[in-house]
Structures are given as C-alpha cells and as structure tokens.
Amino acid sequence: MAVITFSALNRRRVNNRVKKRNPHWVGLSTGIVAVGYREDPVLLEGCLKSLRAIRYRRNQRIVLVVDGNEDQDEYMAKVFEKVFASQGAAIFRPHFLCKDRSANDRERQELVHQIAYHPGPVCVVQPHHGKRSAMYTGFAALQQQGIEAAVVTDSDTYLDPHSCTELAFALAESPIVGAATGDIRIYNTGTWVSFLSSLRYWFAFNLERGAQSYHGAVNCVSGPLGIYRMSIVADVMDSWVEQSFLGVLCTYGDDRHLTNLVLAKGFKIKFSPYAICYTDTPVRFIAWVTQQTRWSKSFFREIPIQLGCIHLHSLWMTYALLYQLIYPMMMIYNLVNCIYFGSGLQIAWWMFSIIFVGLLKTAYAVRMTGDKRFFFTTLYGFLYMLGYVPAKMYAALTLYDNSWGTRQVIFLFDVIIAVAAA
C-alpha cells in the first residue's frame, strides 16, 4: 500500500507542476545521445525518425554513436544519412575511441570539437568497444559544446515528441535534481513473455519508480530514456567508463552505475509519467531470463555504492534496496516452507496474501490507465518464479562472470530440468 500511496502522491505532484507550467517555458539546453550496435535497420530508422520529431525548442544536438566500424556496421550510418539528409547530417569515422587516453590527444580534441560544433545531426562510427565507450563519445561532444543536460536513449527506442520537454522540466524542479527518467513502454507484445513484460514495465516505472521519485531517489535511470545534468556527467564520466569489477572491465549495467554516481554526489533523481518512450523486450523465455540475469548482476555489483550513499537520501531508498535484495529469496523460502512443512490453511493464506496484493496493484493500474489487460498481471507470477528468481540467485553466485550470459543461462535451466526430472 505504501508504494501505491507514494506513487499516487508523486503523480499528483507532477500533475500540479505540469498544469501550472507556463506555455512559453524554456528550460535547460539539451542534446540527445543515441547508441547502437548492429541494430535492426527498421528499428533504427524508427528511432532516428522519432529523434527528428522531437519538439523541445532547446534541444541543440542529436548524436548517434555506432559501436563498431567494420563493413557490417556501415549500414547504420547510411540509415542515419537517409533520415537526416535534409538537415545537414555529418558522419565521422575515427579510428580511435574518445575515451582512449593512449590516442593522440590532439586528434581526440579535434574530433570532439568537430562533433560538437557541426550545425546538424552527427553520426560517429567508432571502433567496437561497448555501449559505455559509445556514450562517452556523445557525452564528450555535449560537454565541449556547453550543453546543460544529456538525454540518453537506445537505437531500438522511439521517443515521444514531447519526451525531452518533460525530462528537462523534471530537472527544472530544483537544482538538486541531477537526473530523471520517464515511462518506458513496450511495443513488441506479440508473445506471452513480451506481453507480460510490458505489464511489468508499467508497474516498475509508474508504481515503483513513481514512489522512489516522491522521495527523490529513483534507483535506476533506465537506458532507453533518461536525462542527466552535464555538470555531473563531466565529473564522473571518466570513472564511469572505466568501471571494473574483480579486475574485469564492466560491459553492462551502465545505466545503473551512472545513476548511482549521481546519487552518491547527493543529487536527487526523479520520474515523470509524461516523458514517454517505446522500446522492445525479449520475446523468448531464455532471452528474457538472460536479460534479467544481466540486470541482477549489475544490481548486486552496485550494492556497495548504494550502501555508501543511503545516508544522503530518504529512508525509502534503503527500503527499496532491501526489498529488491530480500524479496525474491523470501518468496522461494515461503514457497518451499509451505510445500514441505505448511498446512493446507497456511498454503491457502500465503496464496491469498499474494493474490490480494497483486489485485490491489492491478486495480490501481486499471484505474490509472483504463486498460483491462492488467488483469493478466497475475500470470507474471509464473514468469517471476520460473525465470526471475532463479536468474537472481544465479546472478548472485556468478558475479565473477562478466560475459553476456546466454549459454550459461541455457545450461542453468538444463540443470534445473534434470534435477526436477530426477
């Protein structure tokens, strides 16, 4: 109930601010940084067209960074050129990375200057080195130009035309708001996995991040849609891009780590339901579990950083951290305990309590959206128990493994199936 209450209070607060906003309001200057690696050309074109349609008057820069400069990466630059042909688009093809201090410093400075001051949209096709290196290039250009806030997105995401306006307005609430995120929705809902994920996304953002936003402590500015003050990014971008864990350079979890670096500096992070984007999600069960495993690993990896700054923020941040850490384990414990040691009444009460809480959340979602498909939310419980909880446990046991994880997850479920069959 507390989550619903704080989420509703946050929505009312945002609604009141939006209603009172001057129609001629002009906020911080922004630049959009989109990154991609061998993206589906149809999705990429849709993403770029959505960026072209942005209606925020102070958006001064659109930068697409292609994470790869081999022949099979070149099509992304051609799609970019096609979409922005009438707006003076330029394509740069450096043979080095902006983050690479071993490169010629003069070359790096000249590249950043050219990207920053080219009058139209820019595409940078750089050597493959992961998403962080690609984002770093975009951040460096925005910093050079003196832009005040960076809007980040992915190459498979479609931004609402007013998303930048709403994100910038979230930052304008107070100078101590350092970042913000919005309502991330799913467009590929053609399978049960992706459909149930789309329902879960609504709760993750409009309920959980909404409640966190009321306390100024959103725990993850998700990659598909976020905004950061460039003054903060400039301070942390070098340590962020070089983050390592157990001696290995971190490849995923870039959004959560950057979020935590903002929180660690004492800044607040907000969520606005008016900033909207549409992205895709895995449609197959194994791919979805692999995604959840990566996200869980980044969550566990970031716990020490969050623990180091919880004294700077509301107690709700501590609650949210403990809830994410303990709740999946409690679910497993209660399930096993009820099956092997519980009476029929205890099992019935446990099931009733879970269903009751789920129905409360569902009722809130239906009331807010009018979408009766949220009554299918209870089915997500099967995905949660069969996929998310094992993925979280597996992630906690394999933090040393920094790979993408698909083969390992398939092996995990082979083992689970074999044990169950035995």
Query: How confident is the model at residue 103, as a pLDDT?
Result: 64
Residue 322 has pLDDT above 70, yes or no: yes
Per-residue pLDDT band for 412 (boundaries 50, 70, 90) equals low
Looking at the DSSP bridge assignments, the partners of residue 248 are 245
Instruction: Of 62-71, 220-229, 367-376, give the lowest mean pLDDT range.
Output: 367-376
Q: Cβ(182)–Cβ(225) under 8 Å? A: yes
Task: Give the residue among 301, 274, 283, 304 at the shortest CA–CA distance from 396.
Answer: 301
Rounded mean pLDDT, 134-139: 96
Per-residue pLDDT band for 420 (boundaries 50, 70, 90) equals very low
Give the highest mean pLDDT range of 22-31, 44-53, 312-321, 385-394.
44-53
In this structure, the number of other CB atoms found within 10 A of the CB of residue 360 comes to 13
Could you identify the residue written with the tokens 């962080």?
Answer: 132
| pLDDT per residue as tens digits for the range 190-234 | 999 999 999 999 999 999 999 999 999 999 999 999 999 999 999
Higher pLDDT, 139 or 108: 139
Rounded mean pLDDT, 70-81: 95
Residue 413 has pLDDT above 80, yes or no: no
Residue 140 has pLDDT above 70, yes or no: yes
| pLDDT per residue as tens digits for the range 240-257 | 999 988 888 888 899 999
DSSP class of residue 375 equals G
Higher pLDDT, 327 or 64: 64
Residue 52 has pLDDT above 70, yes or no: yes
Rounded mean pLDDT, 306-314: 91
- The mean of the pLDDT values for the chain is 89
Query: How confident is the model at residue 354, as a pLDDT?
Result: 73
Higher pLDDT, 347 or 208: 208
Q: In whole angstroms, what is the distance from residue 173 CA to residue 303 CA?
A: 28
Residue 416 has pLDDT above 70, yes or no: no
Residue 418 has pLDDT above 50, yes or no: no
Say if strands 90-92 and 158-159 run parallel, antiparallel, or are unpaired: unpaired
Query: How confident is the model at residue 421, as a pLDDT?
Result: 43
| pLDDT per residue as tens digits for the range 93-130 | 998 888 886 667 888 888 899 999 999 999 999 999 99
Query: How confident is the model at residue 408, as a pLDDT?
Result: 52
Per-residue pLDDT band for 351 (boundaries 50, 70, 90) equals confident
Instruction: Of 7-11, 277-281, 380-384, give the lowest mean pLDDT range.
Output: 380-384
% of residues, the chain, pLDDT over 70: 94
- Percentages helix, strand, coil for the chain (3-state, rounded to 5) are 60, 15, 25
Higher pLDDT, 211 or 348: 211
Instruction: Of 43-57, 269-283, 295-309, give the lowest mean pLDDT range.
Output: 295-309
Rounded mean pLDDT, 70-94: 94
Residue 350 has pLDDT above 50, yes or no: yes
Q: Cβ(139)–Cβ(233) under 8 Å? A: yes
Residue 307 has pLDDT above 50, yes or no: yes
Specify the CATH number for 2-315; select among 3.30.70.141, 1.20.1110.10, 3.90.550.10, 1.10.4080.10.
3.90.550.10
Rounded mean pLDDT, 318-337: 80
| pLDDT per residue as tens digits for the range 146-189 | 999 999 999 999 999 999 999 999 999 999 999 999 999 999 99
Residue 422 has pLDDT above 50, yes or no: no
Q: Cβ(378)–Cβ(362) under 8 Å? A: yes
User: What contacts 225, CB < 8 A, 6 or more positions away?
Assistant: 151, 152, 153, 157, 159, 163, 167, 181, 182, 184, 275, 276, 277, 279
Domain boundaries, the chain: 2-315
Residue 307 CA, chain-centre distance (Å), reads 21
Q: In whole angstroms, what is the distance from residue 396 CA to residue 392 CA?
A: 6
